[in-house]
Chain A
Amino acid sequence: MTDLTKETDEGAQEIRARSETSDTVRALEEGAVLRGVSHEDVDVEITDAETMIINMGPQHPSTHGVLRLMLELDGETVLRCKPIVGYLHTGMEKQGEDLTYLQGPTNVTRMDYASPLNNELVFALAVEQLLEVEIPERATWIRMLMSELQRIASHLLFLATNGLDLGAISMAIYGFRDRESVLAFLEKTTGLRMNHNYIRPGGVAADLPDGWREDVLKVCDYLPSRLDEYDELLTGQPIWRERTQGIGVITTEQALALSTTGPILRSTGLAWDLRRTMPYLRYDQVEFDVVVGSYGDVFDRYAIRLNEVRESIGIIRQIVDRMPVGDYRVQDKKVTPPPRARIDESMEALIHHFKIFTEGFKVPEGEVYVAIESPRGELGCYIVSDGSARPYRMHIRAPSFVNLQTLPHLMRGGFVADAVAIISSVDPIMGEVDR
């Protein structure tokens, strides 16, 4: 028995028995930091003899990958909770320092694997701000189109897994099926269903394929009726509401104190969406509503994501109407490789091609922080350049990583069954948490 503990022990990162935990740490694990409760009045009468510390995950179907939660339980009630992460850590930020700016997107796209295009987008925007290049209009609008399609795919995946976690198995099948309709278009455009490496510094990798308008409109026509079906299946259903309403409540002040962004922050009623409040790309030129909740519970977070799909469809229709003609990447030969045909005719084109693919383009010295609204919240990219062809430091501010800090607070006092609903509503993507 002791050997077993030794083999699985992670040491100081783990939750300690009540008697061995200092007041500050226990308050943190109970989420009391947020509620402003003094350390003394929290469950003083509970002792170790009455509680049990158990592991949930890392191999647990409802933990969305390899999230490990240590829970202190009093019977069925969660007293303390500590998320333990790092099981998927692959050193992608370190790797990013070793890849050229052209190779960078292949790295960052693997972080949030449910919305890879957004990761590429934030990386490309940061590099372009360092380069101070202007991106052609069409490239910008293509990026917006792809970003919104990705948001739909990501939210449909959330709806599917949220349904799965709460026992609505048909929702899991519907969600995955309908997500496939979006991924089919992404595959047609980028060549891959995931990890596209499509949005690159300087523009996008390829123009939209022939007939893209019909394909996109077909998705836009197909999805609304499906969303209505989800509404019928889940939103009005008494069992679903019982499982989600009033569970895992968080207030605006608490969410802000914990640096939470995305649907969790909006579920508290604060209309903070970077697309609206600090517009990037051309989001200031399209019309959409920022969906907010009012109770900050699991149901609000579900409803927000469901309705954000509807808003995204509206944005996509506007983009389809207004897509400008022109270049899909910047015509700066120092950043963009020349077209294949030019290489046979022009010595200069051959040199540029060779230079870009062997040593990469150089980026002037400087550092920037750029943030966009990913389906999970504020996705930031901090790049420091030392003037060479590789980033000196590349850091991704992962929304899932920061949002996970809300778990101890959301879970306290709830049941283990609610814990599953709460993890699901935070929607963490472990690839992004651990990077």
Chain B
Amino acid sequence: MSDQDVPTAGETEVEEPALIHGAPSSLSRGQLVVHVDSGNYIEIVTALRDDGYAFCSDLTAVDYLLAIDRPVAVGVTPERFEVSVALLNMEEGRRVRVRAQVPEREATLPTLFEIFPGSEAMEREVYDMFGIVFEGHPDLTRILMPDDWEGHPLRKDYPIGRIPVQFKEAPGQR
């Protein structure tokens, strides 16, 4: 990546989004964001890794069910789920965030495990909380909730409410 196609933190929102490895990018409060979908997700993350963003500091997801008409960067089709990966360039002390659009009807993404083994637990957490399946993940099981739990708590259609204490063998009402 050359220096020209990276907007610096001081710039305001660019009219024509700079393309980073062919993917649209934008600035969110001065933070560089690259927008991808499940098709070019692995390709872009690998390219960014080779650019020096070789540390995966965070991986999480957002359910935009209640904000499906949110404003998005030019060239991005908004979907219900977004997986947000925070990458870090330790040489230059810079961060980039990859936001992958994940459709509701096919909530799958390829796993980052081969590129960043450290994303293992974080992908399990996203699977547990949002039900997004990471294809190729070696051990995609629930991590925070019990195995027999129904539903994915951080989805927006999963209400906050009192849940009866769970006892094994006793059918709960949930």
> A91 to B153, Cβ gap below 8 A?
yes
Q: How far is the CA of A28 from the CA of B123 in the complex (A)?
A: 15
Return the contact of A86 from the options B56, B62, B119, B143 (Cβ within 8 A).
Answer: B143
| A228-284, CB < 8 A from B | 256-261, 272, 277-278
Contacts of B138 in A (CB 8 A): 24-25, 28
> B57 to A371, Cβ gap below 8 A?
yes
The stretch among A176-184, A322-330, A360-368 that forms the contact with chain B is A360-368
Contacts of A288 in B (CB 8 A): none
In the complex, whether B147 has a CB less than 8 A from a CB of chain A is: yes
In the complex, whether B76 has a CB less than 8 A from a CB of chain A is: no
Q: How far is the CA of A12 from the CA of B124 in the complex (A)?
A: 12
> A25 to B62, Cβ gap below 8 A?
no
> A369 to B95, Cβ gap below 8 A?
yes
> A86 to B145, Cβ gap below 8 A?
yes
B41: shortest Cβ distance to chain A, in Å?
18
Q: How far is the CA of A94 from the CA of B66 in the complex (A)?
A: 15
Give the B interface residue count (CB, 8 A).
Answer: 46
A28: shortest Cβ distance to chain B, in Å?
5
> B86 to A365, Cβ gap below 8 A?
no
| B56-98, CB < 8 A from A | 56-58, 60, 62-63, 66-67, 70-71, 84, 86, 90, 93, 95, 97
Closest to A129 in B: B29
Write the A375-393 contact mask toward B (1 if CB under 8 angstroms, else 0): 0001010101010000011
Return the contact of B62 from the options A24, A129, A384, A405 (Cβ within 8 A).
Answer: A384
> A257 to B86, Cβ gap below 8 A?
no
> A94 to B153, Cβ gap below 8 A?
yes
Write the A79-114 contact mask toward B (1 if CB under 8 angstroms, else 0): 000000110010101110010000000000000000
> B144 to A277, Cβ gap below 8 A?
no
Closest to A260 in B: B118
Contacts of B71 in A (CB 8 A): 365
> B146 to A369, Cβ gap below 8 A?
no
Return the contact of A392 from the options B54, B62, B118 (Cβ within 8 A).
Answer: B62
Closest to A33 in B: B117
Q: How far is the CA of A21 from the CA of B31 in the complex (A)?
A: 42
Return the contact of B119 from the options A11, A91, A259, A367 (Cβ within 8 A).
Answer: A259
Give the secondary structure class of A's interface: mixed
In the complex, whether A352 has a CB less than 8 A from a CB of chain B is: no
> B56 to A94, Cβ gap below 8 A?
no
In the complex, whether B35 has a CB less than 8 A from a CB of chain A is: no
Q: How far is the CA of A404 from the CA of B118 in the complex (A)?
A: 10
Q: How far is the CA of A259 from the CA of B118 in the complex (A)?
A: 5
Closest to B54 in A: A256
B162: shortest Cβ distance to chain A, in Å?
12
Write the A4-18 contact mask toward B (1 if CB under 8 angstroms, else 0): 001100111100000
The stretch among A57-65, A134-142, A193-201, A394-402 that forms the contact with chain B is A394-402
> A402 to B121, Cβ gap below 8 A?
yes
In the complex, whether A332 has a CB less than 8 A from a CB of chain B is: no
Write the B157-174 contact mask toward A (1 if CB under 8 angstroms, else 0): 010100000001100000
> A259 to B55, Cβ gap below 8 A?
yes
In the complex, whether B106 has a CB less than 8 A from a CB of chain A is: no
> B58 to A258, Cβ gap below 8 A?
no
Contacts of B120 in A (CB 8 A): 28, 405
> B67 to A392, Cβ gap below 8 A?
yes
A112: shortest Cβ distance to chain B, in Å?
16
Known: A12-B141, A132-B29, A384-B62. A86 touches B146 (CB 8 A): yes
Report which A residues bind B (CB closer than 8 A): 6-7, 10-13, 24-25, 28, 33-34, 85-86, 89, 91, 93-95, 98, 129-130, 132, 256-261, 272, 277-278, 365-369, 371, 378, 380, 382, 384, 386, 392-393, 395, 397, 401-402, 404-405, 434-435
Listed A/B pairs (21) with beta-carbon separation below 8 Å: A11-B148, A12-B142, A13-B141, A13-B142, A24-B138, A25-B138, A28-B120, A85-B143, A256-B54, A256-B55, A257-B118, A259-B118, A259-B122, A277-B93, A365-B70, A367-B28, A368-B29, A368-B31, A397-B86, A405-B118, A434-B144
Those 6 A-B pairs whose CB atoms lie nearest each other, nearest first? A259-B118, A11-B147, A86-B144, A397-B58, A258-B118, A89-B144
14 additional A-B pairs beyond A86-B143, A257-B116, A366-B28, beta carbons within 8 Å, are: A10-B146, A13-B142, A85-B144, A94-B153, A94-B160, A256-B90, A257-B117, A368-B28, A371-B86, A382-B60, A386-B66, A397-B58, A405-B117, A434-B144
